[in-house]
């Protein structure tokens, strides 16, 4: 197997798991990490026996590196990712792809010009429960999809200093809705605001509409004292619940009959639904994502979650944020 040499820029809350996984994945050599926190950077480098740089630009000078993953604050994504592409490194940047859609388009053009992979870390696309759910939806297990409902709430993450709850958190489910439906939303409506702090929006409810009269509702916040990551899909023949964290799926099959009463009124009578617990083979989504990233580099394949996917999710997040702020001004 051809070895792929990688580096990690940013080893904070998320990046340290990039380093751990790269150190464990077969066929990968973790050459170096970069982080402005010298103490943390040196500790992580020592743990995984790789080089440490305070300045990521020195990491990029290493000619043996094929690829870099970026796990830094959102405001730094564009500058660092562009420098990596200019150094002819394949790139996987944590979501959101950049702080603005204009920046994202520039990165996409740069990667295309250089024939490099620009991947985006929408990690839920690699969650085995999500992949299993899509199989059931594609074969019509619950009939025509009518609505999707996502709940992604918890306490404020101290590592998030430069963005809001929509761009940081809701973007996960914005992307998963597009993945499950194979389409982007037609319209967006959003309510929310700043419940605890005054610097950034920390709660929101987003309503999205899609072709085929499908609606999606996303609830996100940084104020709920318990972490919840759930998704449910309602169809004409049933209902599916998904737990992102525990990677569990439960299907409810509808039983109903149609008839007319003595006055000719149309009636629908529902019976007790069949309930099925689906066995999902558990796997760390991040490891699956990074394994796919290096395999695409090794085999010259397109990474499935590319810059355009990241751009589409960001555009919807931007529209949602604009709708919220517009309404809050009124």
List, for residues 24-60, the tens digit of each pLDDT value. Answer: 999 999 999 999 999 999 999 999 999 999 999 999 9
Distance, CA of 207 to CA of 178 (rounded, Å): 13
Give the dihedral sign, CA 304/310/312/313.
Answer: positive
What is the pLDDT at residue 46? Answer: 98
Q: Which of 325, 329, 309, 330 is nearest to 189 (CA)?
A: 325
Looking at residue 254, its pLDDT comes to 76
User: Residues 6 or more apart from 40 whose CB is under 8 A from it?
Assistant: 11, 12
Three-class secondary structure of residue 306 per DSSP: strand
> In whole angstroms, how far apart are CA 244 and each of 162, 225, 270, 285?
25, 18, 29, 10
Low-confidence winner among 5-19, 71-85, 254-268 (lowest mean pLDDT) = 254-268
Mean residue pLDDT across the chain = 93
- Portion of the chain with pLDDT greater than 70, in percent: 94
DSSP string, 220-250: EESEEEEEEEEEEEEETTEEEEEETTTTEEE
Work out the average pLDDT over 81-102: 97
Sign of the four-CA dihedral 49, 54, 59, 61: negative
The pLDDT tens digits of the residues spanning 183-192 come to 999 999 999 9
Instruction: Quote the pTM value.
Output: 0.92
CA atoms of 171 and 175, how far apart (whole Å): 6
Entry field: residues in the chain: 330
Closest CA to 310 of 3, 100, 30, 23: 100
pLDDT at res. 259: 56
Angle of the 101-114 helix axis to the 77-86 helix axis, nearest 10: 10
**What residues does each domain of the chain span?**
4-122+286-304, 125-283+315-329
198 confidence band (pLDDT: 50, 70, 90):
confident
Q: Residue 300 — φ and ψ, nearest 5°? A: 70, 30
CATH class of domain segment(s) 125-283+315-329: alpha beta
- CA-based torsion, 76, 78, 83, 88: positive or negative: positive
Domain 4-122+286-304 has CATH 3.40.50.720: yes
pLDDT in tens, 259-313: 565 565 665 666 677 888 998 999 999 999 999 999 999 999 999 999 999 999 9
Residue 210, strand partner residues: 214
């Amino acid at each position: 197997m051809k070895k792929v040499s990688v580096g990690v820029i940013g080893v904070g809350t998320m990046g340290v798991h990039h380093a751990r996984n790269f150190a464990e994945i077969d066929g990968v050599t973790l050459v170096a990490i970069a982080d402005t926190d010298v103490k943390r950077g040196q500790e992580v480098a020592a743990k995984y026996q790789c080089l440490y740089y305070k300045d990521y630009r020195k990491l990029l000078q290493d000619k043996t590196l094929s690829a870099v993953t970026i796990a830094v604050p959102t405001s730094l994504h564009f500058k660092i990712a562009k420098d990596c592409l200019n150094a002819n490194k394949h790139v996987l940047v944590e979501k959101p792809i950049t702080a603005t859609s204009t920046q994202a388009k520039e990165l996409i053009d740069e990667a295309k010009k250089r024939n490099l992979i620009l991947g985006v870390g929408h990690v839920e696309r690699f969650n085995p429960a999500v992949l299993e759910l899509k199989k059931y939806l594609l074969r019509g297990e619950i009939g025509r999809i009518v609505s999707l409902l996502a709940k992604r709430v918890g306490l404020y993450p101290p590592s998030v200093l430069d963005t809001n709850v929509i761009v940081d958190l809701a973007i996960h489910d914005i992307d998963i809705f597009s993945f499950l439906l194979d389409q982007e939303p037609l319209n967006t409506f959003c309510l929310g605001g700043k419940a605890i702090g005054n610097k950034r929006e920390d709660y929101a409810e987003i309503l999205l509409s899609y072709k085929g009269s499908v609606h999606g509702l996303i609830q996100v916040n940084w104020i709920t004292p318990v972490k919840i990551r759930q998704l449910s899909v309602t169809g004409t023949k049933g209902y599916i619940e998904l737990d992102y964290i525990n990677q569990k799926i439960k299907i409810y099959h509808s039983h109903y009959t149609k008839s007319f009463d003595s006055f000719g009124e149309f009636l629908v009578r529902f019976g007790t639904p069949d309930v099925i617990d689906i066995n999902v083979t558990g796997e760390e989504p991040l490891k699956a994502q990074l394994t796919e990233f290096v395999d695409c580099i090794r085999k010259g394949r397109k990474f499935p979650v590319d810059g355009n996917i990241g751009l589409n999710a960001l555009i919807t997040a931007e529209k949602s944020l604009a709708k919220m702020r517009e309404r809050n001004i009124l």
